[in-house]
Amino acid sequence: MQRWGGVCFNNGLDTISITLYNAPMSLDSTHRITLMLTNQSGTLLTVSTDPFHLFPGPLDSLSLQYSNGKPMPGPVTLVYPDGAVNIYARGYDRWGNLIGLIRCIWTKTGTLPSFTPPTTNQVNVYIDASNAIIDEAGWVKASAPSGISGATVSDSVQIIIIARKANLIRSVHKNIMEKFSIKVYKNQITFMIRPDLVNNSKIKIQNLSGKLIADFQGSQNTIWNCKGFSAGLYIARIYLNNDFTASIPVVLNP
């Protein structure tokens, strides 16, 4: 608080200007201004305002936080299968007073999965590692219009997702070996499916961003001609008897 902001006359009244900066979020916290007139003999007069609430100013900054209000500086690491986090956007005025939860536009970078709930006009987003088949990483960003300049204020946090380990993938391979196998030769990859499962099988090939680049109705020898595709890691999602069975990493060499 600025104790004495200056003395002036307003409509013939001696007026003191006072500026208050502390606006607590709790409604249990109130302000009261007291004026004491004194001379050498002591206090002549004391007068006080009624208790009043001071509310925060316009939005000046955003902070990404956990649900309990703890800051989230990052990076935040989520480990398959149970890793998950709710990210909340809280706003502050130029003096650091908490305004509360702010509805924002949410965006992401890198290979992070899609948000739940939708990404506009939301105070939070939820992200988890339950479907991670490869390691993923990126930044989550919240943006909202500033209440002061009309510009946009934002904050972001890095998220790292650790997928299931390689030994788990090998275990899946072992479990389905009697139903399904892979043969790689030059620019062709052959997916061999047990004959009695062919009619209800599908194979979907995705890149690391999750984009579907090939979709096959299963046959006893389904061939993916991968000539012309960029070198790197792809994911083959196998469906047997119309049920998702496994995700198989497929590496295309240069």
Q: Are residues 194 and 120 located together in one domain of the fold?
A: no
CA angle 72, 210, 81 (to 5 degrees): 50
C-alpha dihedral (122, 124, 165, 219), degrees to nearest 10 = -20
Evaluate whether 57 touches 19 at the Cβ level (below 8 Å). Answer: no
Q: Are residues 141 and 85 in the same domain?
A: yes
Residue 238 included in any domain: yes
The tally of domains found in the chain comes to 3
Q: Which of 128, 162, 196 is the last residue of a domain?
A: 162
Domain of 75: which CATH number? 2.60.40
55: in domain? no
248 shares its domain with 171 = yes
User: Are residues 185 and 246 located together in one domain of the fold?
Assistant: yes
Same domain? For 142 and 108 the reply is yes
Last residue of a domain, one of 116, 143, 162: 162
Neighbours of 189 (CB within 10 A): 22
Q: Domain of 39? A: 7-48
Looking at the structure, tell me whether residues 32 and 104 fall in a common domain: no
Do 41 and 92 lie in one domain? The reply is no
- Give the pLDDT confidence of 229-248 residue by residue, as tens digits: 777 778 888 777 667 777 77
The model's pTM is 0.59
pLDDT single digits (tens) 98-118: 999 999 999 999 989 888 767
Say if residue 147 is in the same domain as residue 177: no
* pLDDT number for residue 8: 63
Residue 154 has pLDDT above 90, yes or no: yes
